[in-house]
Amino acid sequence: MFIEEELLSEQKEVNYDDNLLVSGLVDSLGFIKMIQFLERSFGVTIPPKDMLIENFASIDAVEKYMTKLLK
């Protein structure tokens, strides 16, 4: 998984409901890398207004946001 392989430094396993941002698992640079990965992978542009903690706080939140974006 991209998050575990590319973004996590010490902890190499993450649960779908772990808070990635508030817990510090993913830092600000990692957040940008995650956005870029999602845009490339799904062929979309994530607007700045949608770059909210609520949309990217956990893997579950990302999945819900991307499902909504792709509809």
- Condensed to tens digits (0 to 9), the pLDDT of residues 11-66 reads 567 889 989 888 888 888 989 999 999 999 999 999 999 999 999 999 999 999 99
Q: pTM for the complete prediction?
A: 0.83
Answer whether residue 4 shows pLDDT above 80: no
Task: Render pLDDT for 48-60 as a digit per residue (tens, 0 to 9).
Answer: 999 999 999 999 9
Q: How many domains is the chain partitioned into structurally?
A: 1
- Domain containing 39 equals 2-70
Instruction: Label residue 14 left, alpha or beta by phi (over 0 means left) and psi (-120 to 50 means alpha).
Output: beta
pLDDT at 9: 59
Distance of CA 21 to the CA centre of its chain: 9
CATH number for the domain harbouring residue 29: 1.10.1200.10
Query: Which tokens hold the place of 71?
Result: 């509809």
pLDDT at 66: 97
Residue type (1 letter), 16: Y
